[in-house]
Amino acid sequence: MSSSAVQVQESGAAALAAAPLSIIAHKFGGSSVADAARYRHVAGLLRARDEAVQASVVSAMKGVTDALIGLAHSAADGRDWRTPWEALRGRHLDTAADLLQADAAPVQDWLRAQFDELAELLHALSVLGTPTREALERVQGLGEVYSARLLSAHLAALGEDVAMLDAREVLVVNHGDLGVAVDWPASEERLARWRERHPAPRIIITGFVARDGANRITTLGRNGSDYSGAIFAALFQAQELHIWTDVDGVLSADPRLVPDAVPLAALSYHEACELAYFGAKVVHPQTMTPAISRGLPILIRNSFRPEHPGTRIAAAGDEAGPVKGLTLSPGLALLNLEGAGMIGVPGTAERVFAALRDARVSVVMISQGSSEHSICCVVREAEAEIGRRAVQAAFARELANAQVQNVQLIRDISVLAAVGDGMAGTPGVAARLFGSLARAQVNIRAIAQGASERNISVAVASADADKALRAAHAGFWLSAQTISVGLIGPGKVGGALLDQLHAAQARLKREANLDLRLRAVAARGQMWLDERGDTAGWQARLQASAEATDLDRFTAHLQSAHLPHTVIIDCSASDRVAERYAGWLAAGIHVITPNKQAGAGPLERYRAIRQAAAASGARFRYEATVGAGLPVVGTLRDLLDTGDELSAVEGIFSGTLAWLFNRYDGSAAFSALVREAHGLGYTEPDPRDDLSGTDVARKLVILAREAGRELSLADVRVESLVPESLRAAAPEEFMQRLGELDTAFAARHAAAAASGKVLRYVAQLDRDGRASVGLVELGREHAFAHLRETDNIVQFSTRRYCNNPLVVQGPGAGPEVTAAGVFADLLRVAATLGARI
């Protein structure tokens, strides 16, 4: 930096410290001045502010700069430029008429003269056949000149003391390798002379345009209007720069990809630069250069919501964090140089980057392992092939000698960057980022973190990029942890679960940072798919749906929104649905179910399900398969995980059968109790599903497998309570002939009572692995003899609990209870994904 520039910065900083808080610079983007109504709004916003000096930089009306560039190229290419020129001229004249009304004539005459000059220039370009750089810069900066004239004229018509400053009269810049550099002494001198002639307290300034050292008209490049705002804030020695746009400040992520992105209250200059580099909608780093050297705060405000405080960018941010924001840079490729001959050889990295520099290929990110076996860098995809050829040429000899094995190019890469000053010195930030991506099944191709620790960047496949951003955003609690939920089988249990989910949805989002989105429900014959994830009115929507159930489409829809996590809840009793579990888990979809077909089905399928879950990291939760809402599986899992050993299991696993034999005392016929239980909804639609004992046997198999026993349903000795003569009857016929059960049960009850015992339907797994379920006689002192209503009870005999078994007891039947058990599994999965539960 030159000594004169240092002196200018020092004198500017001293003046800034001494000046009162009364000089404020503003910059308005194209969306803020899109039409006459927006100009009026901006004028009202400025007039409402009590500022001694107000320096306001304006952009061209929205879309005008691109239209002007299009005119220049159309003229140079020999295409019709007059039609779009007339449309652009008409837009400005109409805006002037609407904005200024009775005072419009002078400005309209001025605009006509300006557009006539533009037409002459375009005609010259059509003759030359190519747009010179000077002509193009002259043309593309005219929109700001028109815009500044419109706003200043409107303020003057309102009686304000206002002056319009054409930046081409004051601002002097030079173009170099690092971009546009301001000639501060020359610009300050010109501004001082201009202010002597124009002492008005309100100044409307053209953004984007300037002159170079040879006094030629030039521009500051794209995002140049923001840069103009910072430059004139420095020249006017403003205390703050307010950049007015169409968002509530800087957001924690792109709201198009993360709808729950939140505005950030404050950022440091360093944080803003890091976010801006990777494409976040933040101030361009060049814009912050004048602000950083002077300690000038920049406020990003929403001109559509001026009451919102926006984001303050200054030397120091705030304590929020450790990660302030995440940003995604798409359209990249990974270039990887790999070879054993590179290990320990000085200058290898220098040769790689020199080759890319000479090929004019910009490097976005660099990563090298400590082994030095490979160097990889991320480049723009449009330059990727050029970069690969350049590196291949630079290492042609090593490639020929097999010292370097490969120059690999991987396309369709995006870089996700996590940024925050609070990351420095905070353990576990990288772990949280990588853990969030792992749980979302996102593979990381390359990693980079600087010594400042305020940025961790990861390269991922572009197909996973949106999901990665959402997962990381939720992982740092910048938004709710969002889960795409699909339910199969909206019967009694499924319906009760959906009602419970609807009742808890808002509370979970508010208190646990958990957003459970019900995006699909599938019944036996039809299904509905939803984008919003709203549980309200699910029954009516399912009934109104004409879409036939297709579990392939059901699954694809759940994953189509690129939400970070997907859960399928199977509340059916279908073996065909259970067949899909392994595939879902392998794809990273979490599966929760009260369906016993998977846990007690074919052993090979069970092994495949567990292997798929272990390989992918997806969760398979099935607590409700054994004890409805009781923590039976979880208790056994805790015992085993802490080193205990299971000796035997004994229990009453059927709420239906528990109720029947708790009530059966011989005073009423057994068939009457079955009909009563059926009417209360305690039994399956066909009571034989309960009376057969198969359901109880399945639960015993599930517990045995949980304990590591390779038990199958065929290995369980099952006593069915359904007589052979009634097993093949139709359901209606079975209910009509229920009385045929009474004699046999009366005899068994009488025999048990004569011995002072009671009948209970019990499942048993003994120390030798023998498994049985059936009706047994128990003494009245037995724990199983005193159950209430539909209670289930399980006794675990283990190495620790050998003399006094561990008992789990409670209600084990009913849709509400079972649904609550499934819901609890869902919340456990959510907790492993980062929800605050």
> What residues have CB less than 8 Å from 505, skipping those under 6 apart?
516, 535
* CA 716 – CA 590 distance, rounded (Å): 30
Query: What is the Cα–Cα distance from 642 to 639, expressed in whole angstroms?
Result: 5
Which string of b and e fits 23-45 if b means at least 16 CB within 10 Å? bbbbbbbbbbbbebebbebbbeb
User: And the tokens for 610?
Assistant: 């567990």
Paired tokens of 178:
């690092």
When computed from its CA atoms, the radius of gyration of the chain, rounded to whole angstroms, is 37
Residue 585 CB-density burial (10 A; 0-12 exposed, 13-18 middle, 19+ buried) = buried
Residue among 595, 659, 585, 664 at smallest CA distance from 618: 585
Closest Cα partner for 390 from 441, 337, 443, 454?
A: 337
User: Is 699 annotated as catalytic?
Assistant: yes
Greatest C-alpha distance within the chain? 118
- β-bridge mates for residue 240, sequence order: 24
Q: Determine contact, residues 827/682, Cβ cutoff 8 Å.
A: no
Distance of alpha carbon 708 from the chain centroid: 38
| Pair 330, 465: CB distance under 8 Å | yes
Task: Give CA–CA dist 710/492, Å, rounded.
Answer: 32
Gap between the Cα atoms of 436 and 468, Å rounded: 8
Beta bridge partners of 366: 377
Q: What is the 3-state secondary structure (H, E, C) of 100-121?
A: HHHHHHHHHHHHHHHHHHHHHH
Catalytic residue among 324, 492, 699, 757: 699
Give ∠ CA 780-781-782 in degrees, rounded to 5. Answer: 90
Query: Hey, is 812 helix, strand or coil?
Result: coil
**Cα–Cα distance, 248 to 240 (Å, whole number):** 18
Which of these, 365, 370, 392, 369, lies nearest to 460 by C-alpha position?
365
Cα(804)–Cα(33) distance, rounded to whole angstroms?
80
C-alpha dist (Å) from residue 141 to 146, 218, 770: 9, 8, 87
Cα separation, 264 vs 422, in Å, equals 14
DSSP-assigned letters across all residues of 202-237: EEEEE-SEEEETTS-EEE--TTHHHHHHHHHHHHTT
d(CA 827, CA 837): 7
Q: Which of 772, 747, 748, 751 is nearest to 762 (CA)?
A: 772
Give the pair of three-digit tokens for residue 163.
Answer: 């002056």
- Starting at the earlier edge strand, list the strands of the sheet with 179-182: 179-182, 172-176, 209-212, 217-219
Q: Determine the Cα–Cα distance for residues 604 and 128; give it in Å rounded to an integer.
A: 78
- d(Cα 493, Cα 490) in Å, to the nearest integer? 7
Per residue in 651-668, is it b (16+ CB within 10 Å) or e — as a string?
Answer: bbbbbbbbbbbbebeeee
Q: For residues 569 and 803, is the Cβ–Cβ distance under 8 A?
A: no
Distance CA 309, CA 316 (A): 17
Residues marked active site are found at 699
